[in-house]
Structure 1
Amino acid sequence: MYPKYGLMPYRGAFVAFHWNILRGLSLSVDIVQSEQRKNTGDNKRRWPPYWKTLGYMLYMPMVYLGPPQKYNDFITQSEKPKPSCTPREIAISVARILRSGGHFLLMEIMAHFFYSSAMAEWAWMGERLDYASLLGYALSLEFNYYVCYLFNYGFPGALAMVEGIEIPATAPCIARLHRCSQFWRYFDRGMHLFIRRYVYEPVLGGQRTAFRLVLSTAVAFTFTSTWHSFYSHNLVWCALSALGISLEVITIEIRKWAPVKKFEGRYLASPERMRMVKCLLGSPHFLLTMCACIFHLAEVDVCFVIVRRILTGFPFPIVPVLVAVYSGCHVALDVAEWEASAKQKRASP
């Protein structure tokens, strides 16, 4: 296809084909499990509804940009009553599309002025940059990654909402996702729900022991690295992410020990002290999450240069970086408290 039609049609077909691999997997598993739950004793195989299945596989807003959505969720959304064509609904739909256009414009401006995509292949550039520029380069990689996802998933979401189909939401601000598990739960919400449903939960098997949780995490990230073609930088990305989530599981298990509970009750009884300890322990974890993401965004040699220079630079830049991520942990906890309070107010009569 590439020699005949060129790069752009080939790339579009390549991406859509791989998205449909995931959709086909979701379709197969959901249909088989639906037939098993019926348990009517009738061995006759029933085919899924043709037009709904075709719509799921080729739904235009998501066929190229994504995000992945489970088959049953899409069918449920497609069967909902459609929104009425009122001026308010039209204004909301136009506003969503314009917001996605703003994200696209920001993405193009960043690509034009920050050169993060081009520099992602230049290991020598990471060695020549001073520490302040190196930190700015690392942040531009992370933020450009976030903005790209805002457009790639926000635009199809805006188009789908016109006809009342809700797809997995875009990520909240990445500066508040201070835990690795949080980052993976909310950054690519559709992929998280897909992996959790078809990979993580079958391995977990309802047994939420520490070993099962770590094993399920390892299998889930093995699937993720396979999905990303086993490139070396993505292998490091998945390995560090699995390590971060495993450390969270281990920390939860350690806090169950009687000596640790006694220590917390004696020295960390006040909410202020517990919050301070959470942020102190969360700062290196937050930094681990950011370092893991860098390996997804650049060549492996470039990533090692960036991470090595930042982590081994004492006192600058590592001390200011740890202070910044410590403050970020406090902000993330504040935002979580605000959201919990707002949710409680909405739930109360």
Structure 2
Amino acid sequence: MCYFLSVQVKVRICILSVYDILVINYFFGVRPFLLLLAKCIIMYSISRLGRIRLVWLAFLAFMLSDISSLTSYYKWKYLNISSIYRYTIANGFFELSLLSFALDKIHWRTTHHPRNNVTSDNLQTQELSSGVGNDEEREPNFLDLVFYVFHLPKFNHGPFYPFKKFHFEVMSCFKAATYTVNIWDIVKKLLRFMLWALFLEFQLHYFYYSQLGFSEDILEQMSLPAVMAAGYWQGQMFMVKYVCFYGISGQLLRFDGVIPFSNPRCISWVYSYTDMWRYFDVGLYEFVKMYIYIPIGGSKCGYIGQLVSSAISFFFIFMWHGFYLNLFYWCLGNFITVSLERLGQEFMKHSALGIQLQSKLSPAWQLRLLAIVLAPVYVVSCWGIFFFFFDIDVTLVIIKKMTASWLSMFLEMVVITSAMHNALDISMRKQAEKEIQRVD
């Protein structure tokens, strides 16, 4: 609407920001909004100092305050139960956006004004370049921050978009001479995601697998296939939920010129938990990679350096999700899984036995061997994700059932090896299709 009324870019940003703020005030109230605004002012003020360590300290202080008893008290005082859940999720993505803005602002000041009073820790910002482009005409200001963090399509349920990507694409769209967004394509995809949301609502109303995950007594009485099916279904519906959340948000963001990340990949054919982290929540993966993994050292520091970078990254994910013990086990399981996968890759690439196996075995047998090796690693990763879906006691019941006898474990390995083989085959076919499209 602002485009067709020929409203200037700055005025358009102000109008959209006011609208976003009014809607957030309507759903959460004035006091929760003022708390978020106070965080904005604090982070913006710190970013102007140009000190990365202070930015991170402020971010950690925000996360610690979120789990304090005082914050919990005020949540229950000013919000109802459903609003508390939505506010908690929105606040998590909100704080990621604050950190992204502050670090990208410092990076802008470092690259555009290198002779300013820049402290030694600012040199780390050289690692924050995301490849989006550094041709911004001016330094990001407070209005840019407010528009970015309160932008309604991504405020409630995410996903996270780096400030540099968001700002560059929105400004490119707002300054364009013609409005090139394909509105009909957006409407079609929105209808598709809404149909999936209706399906999700329908099955939650008539099927009670979620409740099974909180009842140890019922799980104790269920057979092993039924327990594993409940865990599998929980994972599938979690994936569909975030496809709806991120899909609807992504399509609404397209109206402002933002190119959405890909939707969460179906977990049925993801054989590697490295790929699970890379393709399920692309926004969170980009955040961890840009602002934590690469600045620490990442893949440039050898295998041990990668382990340390991964450990710090997963510890951050644990803190951001809420410091709960079951989440610690979830992150620990994922760290172990990703580390084992990386160790296997290093073994196949650099060890004499790995090189010999690749030279002697046919591609088909390499695929079978990889499926056999991946199966037990995948089981460990499933146990980790069960800690995320359910509480600790329920997950221990599931693990106990899965390891009750050698026969049951053997049958599980047979089934999961077949699933890994199928997932590897699908992945290879999709990769081949991409190569063909690239050649064409």
What is the Cα deviation at residue 102 of structure 1? Answer: 1.8
The answer to whether residue 246 in structure 2 is matched with residue 172 in structure 1 is: no
Which residue, 96, 107, 115 being the options, matches 2:208? 115
Q: How does 1:268-283 map to 2 (within 5 A)?
A: 268=361, 270-283=362-375
SS state at 1:312 partner: coil
State which of 210, 217, 224 in structure 2 corresponds to 1:124. Answer: 217
- Mark the CA change 1:264 to 1:55 in structure 2 (over 3 Å): closer, same or farther: same
- TM-superposed CA distance for 1:134, in Å, is 1.2
The one-letter code of the counterpart of 1:323 is V
Question: Map of 1:258-297 to 2, 5 A cutoff?
Answer: 258-266=352-360, 268=361, 270-297=362-389
Query: 1:206, CA displacement in angstroms?
Result: 5.6
Structure with larger RCO (C-alpha < 8 A, sep 6+): 1
d(CA) in 2 for partners of 1:183, 1:5 = 34
Match of 1:96 in 2: 189
Secondary structure of residue in 1 paired with 2:249: helix
User: 2:86 & 2:427 partners in 1: Cα distance?
Assistant: 39
Match of 1:308 in 2: 400
Aligned length: 345
What CA deviation, in whole Å up to 9, does each residue of 1:99-145 have, x standing for no partner? 11122122222322332332222122221112232122111211121
Instruction: Give the Cα–Cα distance (whole angstroms) in 2 for the partners of residues 233 and 6 of structure 1.
Output: 25
Q: Is the CA contact 2:243–2:264 (under 8 Å) kept in the aligned structure 1?
A: yes
Indicate which of 154, 157, 160 corresponds to 2:250: 157
Rounded to whole Å, the distance in 2 between the matches of 1:245 and 1:5 is 39
Q: Secondary structure at the match of 1:48?
A: coil
One-letter identity of the residue aligned with 2:289:
R
The amino acid of 1:122's aligned partner reads S
Gaps of 5+ in 1: none
Among residues 307, 310, 313, which one is paired with 1:217 in the alignment? Answer: 310
By how many angstroms is 1:67 displaced? 0.8
What CA distance in whole angstroms lies between the structure 2 residues aligned with 1:322 and 1:191?
A: 31
| Residues 77-100 of structure 1, C-alpha deviations (whole Å, 9 max, x = no match) | 2123379779x9333112111111
Could you tell me how far apart the structure 1 residues matched to 2:402 and 2:298 are?
40
Q: Alpha carbons of 1:341 and 1:302: their partners in 2 closer, same or farther (altered >3 Å)?
A: same
- Give the superposition deviation at 1:324: 2.8
Moved more, 176-185 or 200-209: 200-209
Deviations 1:275-317 (A, max 9, x none): 111111112222222222111000110011112212334424x
Instruction: Give, as a single letter, the amino acid of the residue that structure 2 aligns with 1:188.
Output: D
Q: Structure 1 residues 34 and 90 mapped into 2: Cα distance closer, same or farther (>3 Å)?
A: closer
Using a 3 Å threshold, how does the CA distance of structure 1 residues 112 and 222 change in structure 2: closer, same or farther? same
- 1:48 is matched with 140
Structure 2 distance, partners of 1:41, 1:278, is: 53
- Give per-residue Cα distances to partners, 1:307-337, cap 9 Å, x unaligned: 2212334424x34432332222222222222
Asked if 1:21 corresponds to 2:21, the answer is no
Task: State the match for 2:323 in structure 1.
Answer: 230
Measure the CA separation in 1 of the matches of 2:356 and 2:226: 46
Q: Does 1:254 align with 2:316?
A: no
1:62 aligned residue (154, 158, 175): 154
Distance change in 2, residues 1:320/1:99 (3 Å):
farther
Give the drift of 1:204: 2.0
CA contact 2:273–2:334 (8 Å) conserved in 1: yes
The corresponding residue for 2:37 is: none
Fraction of identical pairs, as percent: 22
Counterpart of 1:345 in structure 2 is 436
Give me the CA root mean square deviation: 2.4
State how far apart, in whole Å, the 2-side matches of 1:248 and 1:338 are: 21
> What amino acid maps onto 1:94 in structure 2?
V
SS of 1:340's equivalent in the other structure is helix
Which residue is 1:334 aligned to?
Answer: 425
- In structure 2, runs of 5+ residues without a counterpart are 1-74, 119-137
Does the aligned pair in 1 maintain the 2:251–2:260 contact within 8 Å? no
Asked if 2 retains the 8 angstrom alpha-carbon contact of 1:213 and 1:249, the reply is no
Q: Find out whether 1:195 has 2:269 as its counterpart.
A: no
User: Deviations 1:184-209 (Å, cap 9, x if unpaired)?
Assistant: 11111111111111111122256241
Q: Deviations over 1:201-253 (max 9, x none)?
A: 12225624110111111111101111122211111111110000110122122
Distance 1:299 1:40, change over 3 A: closer
Report if aligned partners of 1:150, 1:170 keep a CA contact under 8 Å in 2: yes
CA distance in 1, matches of 2:356, 2:284: 40
TM-score (norm 1): 0.90
TM-score (norm 2): 0.73
In structure 2, the CA distance between the partners of 1:259 and 1:333, relative to structure 1 (3 Å rule), is closer
**Contact 2:214 2:390 (8 Å CA) reproduced:** yes
1:27-38 → structure 2 map (5 Å cutoff): 27-38=101-112
Structure 1 Cα separation of the partners of residues 269 and 305 of structure 2:
28
1:324/1:80 CA distance change after superposition, 3 Å = farther
CA distance, structure 2, for counterparts of residue 15 and residue 116 of structure 1? 23
